[in-house]
Structure 1
Amino acid sequence: MNFWPMKFISVLICFAMTVCGCAGLNSKSTEHVRASDFIIPLNVSEVLKRPETGVIEYFENRREDFEILGRYLLENEKVFQTRPVILQQDYSIENIQDPEIQQIAQTLFREGIVKRISSLNDAPSKSIDFLFDAEDNLYQQGITYLSLPEMAKGDPSKFSYVNDYKNLGGGWYYYVFHYDKLKNEDEFRNLAWAQISDKERSTLTTPKEKAKVILESGKNVGYWMDDRKLDVVVSVQFDTEMNGLLGPITMFFDPMTKDLIGGNLRF
C-alpha cells in the first residue's frame, strides 16, 4: 500500500497550522497588545516639590482672591488681546485695569507660589489655571477652575498621561497631571532622532533626551505609512521654534516591532 499521499497531506496540515500560529502571534504582537504591558507607573508624590496638602491649604486661605482674579480674567479677555489670557510675574499684569485686582495678581506672584495664571472663555466652557509647579515632560501641579464637570475627565486616548483631579467645590479643583514612563522609551527617542534631518534639528527647542514619549491610541495617528492600524502606538514629540505655526514634530512607532508607522502633518 502506498502511504505517500497520507504523508504529504500530514505535512501540508502541519505547515498550515504553523503558518496560522505564526500569523496569530504576529497579529497579537502588533494589534492586540495591552497598554499596561508598556507602562511603568510613576509615583508622582516622590517628584512633587510641593505636597498636595500645602497647595490646597494655600488655595483655601486665598480662595476669595483666586475667585476675584479668575472672574476678572474671564470677563475681560478682550483687554489682554490673547487667547488664552496668560499672566506671569513680568508679563501682562499691567493690562489689568483694576488696581485692586492688579495688586492681587502681583501678590500671588511675589509670594513665589503661583508661577503662571491663564484663562480661556469659550462659554459655556470656561477655565482658569493657577500653575504652582511643573517639570518638562514629567508633571504639572496647580489649582484650576472648570465651568463644566466633564472638562475634568482628561484625554482617555493618552494611556500614559495621567490627569488626577480633586474636587474642591464650586468648580475648583486641585490637579496633578503627569507622564508615566514607558519601557524602552530612550530607544524610541533614538529611533525618532535618527529620522530628523540636520536642518530640522537646528529648529528644535527640545533636546533628544527630553523628547516627549507617550503611549496612546492609534486613532491619534495623523497619517499611516502602512496598513497596520494599531490600537496602541508610541508617539515621540519634539518641540520646535515653529510650534506656533507648524506644530511639533511627532512620530508614531509600533510598540512591539519599534517600526516607524506614521506621523502628524505639520501645517
Structure 2
Amino acid sequence: MKSKGTEHAEASDFIIPLNVSEVLKRPETEVIKYFQNRREDFDILGSYLLENERVFQTRPVILQQDYAIEKIQDPDIQQFAQTLFQEGIVKRISSLNDDPSKSIDFLFDAEDNLYRQGITYLSLPEMAKGDPSKFSYVNDYKNLGGGWYYYVFHYDKLKNEDEFRSLAWTKISEKERSTLTTPKEKAIVTLESGKNVGNWIDDRKLDVVISVQFDTEINGLLGPITMFFDPMTKDLIGGNPRF
C-alpha cells in the first residue's frame, strides 16, 4: 500500500514559492508607514479592546465598518476606530485576551486562499512563529518593536494542486456539496505534516501529505471538510473527523 520514496518525500519537491510582493495591493512600506504615523493611537485602541472585552460580549472582539464600533464608550477612541475604516485602509480589527497570551489584529487586506496582510500586536514573542507543520503556508513577521509586527501570511502554490481539488471533489457526496461555501476551484490545498492527519484510511504513515479543505455552512458545528492525499500516488489516505 506504500509507494517507494513517498514516506521520505521533501516538502520542497512539491512547493512552487509565491512571490507575494507581486500580488499585494498595498506595498509593505505603505502599510508600515501608515501604522508608524498613528502608532500611539493604535496602542490606545488596542489596549482599550483588550481591557474592555466584556463590553463587546464576543470572543474575539471584532470591529468592522458599521459593526460594534458604537460599543466603544470612550468617544476619542471610538472616533479613531471610525477614522481607520472611513479611510478605507483597515478592513477589520480584532482582539483576544487570554492573559498572558494577548493579540490585536489590524487587517489591511486579504484575498481568499491566497494571503492576509496587516499589523498585529502579540504579547508573547513565540506567538509569531506560526505553524511549522503547514509547509506551504508562510507566516512572515517583521518586528516593529513593543510587541507590534507587520505580517503577511500567504499560501505557496503546489504542483498539480488543481488535480488534488478535482480528486477531493469526487469524494464529496451530493448532500455534502449542498452545504459547501467554498467552490471547487477555491478549495484550500496545503502541503503539511502527516502528523496532522486525524484518521488514516490504511497503515501507511507519510511524512508529507496534501490536504484539501472545503468550508461549509456548518463549519461552526462540524468543522470544514478536510481530506488528505499521498502527494506521490495521489491516493486518498485520510481525513479529519467532523464532530
Q: Could you say whether these structures have the same fold, taking a TM-score greater than 0.5 normalized by the shorter chain as the test? A: yes
Partner of 2:4: 27
Match 1:130 to one of 85, 106, 117: 106
1:145 aligns with 2:125: no
TM superposition shift of 1:99:
1.2
Count residues in correspondence: 243
Letter in 2 for 1:148: L
Unmatched segments (≥5 aa) in structure 2: none
Match 1:189 to one of 165, 168, 171: 165
Partner of 1:12: none
TM superposition shift of 1:27:
3.2
Partner of 2:90: 114
TM superposition shift of 1:97:
1.3
3-state SS, counterpart of residue 120 of structure 2: strand
Letter in 2 for 1:120: L
Report the Cα distance in structure 1 between the residues aligned to 2:148 and 2:129, rounded to whole angstroms: 14
Letter in 2 for 1:77: E
Q: TM-score, normalised by structure 2?
A: 0.98
Q: Which has the higher contact order (CA 8 A, sep 6+)?
A: 2
Partner of 1:180: 156
> Retained in 1: the 8 A contact 2:228–2:236?
yes
What is the aligned-residue RMSD (CA, Å)? 1.1
Partner of 1:96: 72
Alignment deviations for residues 211-246 of structure 1 (CA, whole Å, 9 cap, x no partner) = 000000000001100011111000000001111111
Report the Cα distance in structure 2 between the residues aligned to 1:173 and 1:146, rounded to whole angstroms: 8
Q: 1:1-267 counterparts in 2 under 5 A? A: 26-28=3-5, 30-267=6-243
Report the Cα distance in structure 1 between the residues aligned to 2:56 and 2:221, rounded to whole angstroms: 21
Structure with more of its chain in helix, by fraction: 1
3-state SS, counterpart of residue 176 of structure 1: strand
Unmatched segments (≥5 aa) in structure 1: 1-22
Once superposed, which parts of structure 1, at least 4 consecutive aligned residues long, lie more than 6 Å away?
Answer: none
TM superposition shift of 1:206:
0.5
Report the Cα distance in structure 1 between the residues aligned to 2:3 and 2:147, rounded to whole angstroms: 48
3-state SS, counterpart of residue 162 of structure 1: strand
3-state SS, counterpart of residue 240 of structure 1: coil
Larger Rg: 1
Alignment deviations for residues 15-66 of structure 1 (CA, whole Å, 9 cap, x no partner) = xxxxxxxx9x9331x2010000000000000000000000000000010111
TM superposition shift of 1:91:
1.1
